[in-house]
């Protein structure tokens, strides 16, 4: 197996992120769900970088896709759509919270003015 | 249900965002028509909307940041609930609605056969609505009525009269213009009775520059689908 330079750089970057995530978990700045998700993601990135052909061929075989390159593209597109959905949902939640806060402040301010 | 609804029983609630040039005149006209209780909910305007509304004789509640017409409408309903207000009339701030039409809506509501009276621009064809607004409204009607049991001729009308029953039950979640559709769909789900009353409108260059356009219409549709399909619990 030929060893390329990215197969060293990407795992190192992944390790840095994993260490940072564990540090945040230890300092109670991140929950266990976030830490587990991040750990899984970066572990996946490291494994794909070290064993690109083995993993892409495995994905292609599992999903019945002919080429391993196509499998990677489909997999990444699916991942991007999923992340996009999660982000959109989170933004909607934040907007809803902002509206409730704005309304509460407006009504409290009005009540204060009426009491004066 | 009272046999007669008096103008002082009603609070006219006006959502306003950057309506400084016209809001004072709109409020003053409503007062001249005999409705003393007017609440302007200023939706984080960057101009002097709040000050102008107060000069016109309205009470003002201000959102610190702009949250949209639906958010403002729900703030008005919360205020009405808190104060025990029996009737709320919602009107647009750009002066397109005629407060004179409110009397007809009150008469209908006094009969006791409706909880929400929607002022409809299309139930009687008067030809005073620009074609582009007719087009947007017809598209919105098809879209909204798809989720409803019966057909409504003006689902996007901002001129509505609500009784206490409706004020207490409605819980609007859409912050933007989609609240007009959401209110109708929710009213059906809550078994509130909805009636459509013919109204007339006056469009000016100013009012045409406000309200919905194709861009906001698309955003409204996406928000409505999102709320109805992906978060049905709301």
**Distance (Å, rounded) from C-alpha A89 to C-alpha B56?**
41
Q: Cβ contacts (< 8 Å) between A110 and chain B: which residues?
A: 61, 79
Residue B1: inside a domain, yes or no? no
Q: Minimal Cα–Cα distance from B84 to chain A, Å?
A: 14
What's residue B162's pLDDT?
97
Do residues A39 and A25 make contact, with C-beta atoms less than 8 angstroms apart? no
Residue B201: inside a domain, yes or no? yes
User: What's the CATH number where B203 sits?
Assistant: 3.90.550.10
What's residue B123's pLDDT?
79
**Distance (Å, rounded) from C-alpha B135 to C-alpha B4?**
37
Residues 62-81 of B with CB under 8 A from A: 62-65, 67-68, 71, 74-75, 78-79
Do residues A73 and A30 make contact, with C-beta atoms less than 8 angstroms apart? no
Q: Minimal Cα–Cα distance from A114 to chain B, Å?
A: 10
Residue B2: inside a domain, yes or no? no
Between A1 and A110, where is the model more confident? A110
B79–A110: do the CB atoms touch at under 8 Å? yes
Q: Cβ contacts (< 8 Å) between B71 and chain A: which residues?
A: 99, 102-103
Closest by Cβ to A99, choosing from B41, B79, B175: B175
The domain in which residue B209 lies consists of 7-230
Angle at B110 between CA B104 and CA B112, to 5 degrees: 125
Q: Kindly report, residue by residue over A19-58, the tens digit of the pLDDT.
A: 999 999 999 888 888 899 889 999 999 999 999 889 888 8
Residue B216: inside a domain, yes or no? yes
Q: Which helix (H) or strand (E) holds B184?
A: helix B179-189
Nearest to B157 by CA among B204, B123, B205: B123
Instruction: Evaluate if residue A116 carries a pLDDT over 90.
Output: no
Q: Nearest-CA residue of chain B relative to A112?
A: B61
Residue B37: inside a domain, yes or no? yes
A96–B74: do the CB atoms touch at under 8 Å? no
Angle at A104 between CA A102 and CA A109, to 5 degrees: 95
**Distance (Å, rounded) from C-alpha B63 to C-alpha A100?**
11
Residue B49: inside a domain, yes or no? yes
What's residue B4's pLDDT?
83
Q: Cβ contacts (< 8 Å) between B67 and chain A: which residues?
A: 98-99, 102-103
What's residue B234's pLDDT?
47
Do residues B167 and B65 make contact, with C-beta atoms less than 8 angstroms apart? no
Closest by Cβ to A106, choosing from B61, B173, B175: B61
**Which residue do the tokens 């075989």 mark?**
A61
Residue B218: inside a domain, yes or no? yes
First to last CA, chain B: 29
Closest by Cβ to B67, choosing from A99, A107, A109: A99
Per-residue pLDDT 10s for chain B (234 aa) are 556 889 999 999 999 999 999 999 999 999 999 999 999 999 999 999 999 999 999 999 999 999 999 999 999 999 999 999 999 999 999 989 999 999 999 999 999 899 999 999 887 766 567 777 777 778 888 888 888 889 999 998 999 999 999 999 999 999 988 899 999 999 999 999 999 999 988 877 776 666 666 676 677 777 777 766 666 554
- How many domains are there within chain B? 1
**Distance (Å, rounded) from C-alpha A8 to C-alpha B162?**
67
Mean pLDDT check: name the lowest of A5-14, A65-74, A89-98. A65-74
| Residue of B63, B222, B226, B227 to mutate for A, most A C-beta atoms under 10 A | B63
What's residue B125's pLDDT?
66
């Amino acid at each position: 197996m030929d060893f390329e330079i990215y197969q060293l750089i990407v795992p190192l970057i992944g390790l840095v992120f994993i260490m940072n995530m564990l540090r945040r978990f230890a300092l109670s700045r991140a929950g266990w769900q976030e830490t587990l998700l991040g750990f899984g993601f970066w572990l996946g990135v490291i494994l794909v970088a070290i064993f690109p052909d083995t993993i892409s061929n495995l994905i292609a075989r599992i999903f019945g896709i002919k080429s391993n390159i196509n499998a990677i593209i489909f997999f990444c597109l699916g991942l991007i759509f999923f992340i996009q959905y999660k982000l959109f949902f989170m933004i909607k939640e934040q907007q809803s919270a902002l509206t409730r806060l704005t309304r509460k402040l407006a009504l409290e301010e009005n009540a204060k003015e009426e009491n004066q | 249900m009272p046999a007669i609804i008096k103008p002082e029983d009603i609070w006219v609630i006006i959502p306003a965002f950057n309506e400084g040039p016209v809001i004072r005149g709109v409020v003053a006209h409503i007062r001249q028509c005999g409705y003393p209780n007017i609440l302007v909910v200023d939706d984080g305007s960057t101009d002097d909307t709040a000050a102008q509304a107060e000069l016109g004789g309205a009470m003002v509640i201000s959102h610190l940041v702009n949250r949209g017409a639906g958010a403002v409408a729900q703030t008005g309903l919360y205020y009405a609930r808190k104060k025990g207000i029996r009737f709320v009339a919602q009107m647009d701030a750009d002066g397109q609605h005629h407060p004179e039409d409110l009397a007809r809506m009150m008469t209908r509501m006094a009969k006791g056969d409706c909880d929400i009276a929607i002022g409809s621009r299309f139930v009687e064809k008067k030809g005073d609505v620009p074609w582009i607004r007719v087009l947007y409204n017809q598209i919105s009607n098809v879209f909204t009525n798809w989720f409803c049991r019966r057909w409504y001729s003006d689902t996007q009308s901002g001129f509505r009269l609500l009784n206490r029953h409706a004020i207490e039950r409605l819980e609007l979640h859409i912050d933007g213009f989609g609240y007009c559709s959401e209110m109708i769909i929710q009213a059906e789900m809550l078994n509130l009775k909805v009636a459509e009353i013919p109204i007339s409108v006056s469009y000016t260059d100013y009012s045409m520059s406000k309200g919905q356009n194709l861009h906001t219409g698309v955003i409204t549709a996406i928000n409505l689908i999102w709320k109805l399909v992906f978060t049905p619990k709301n």
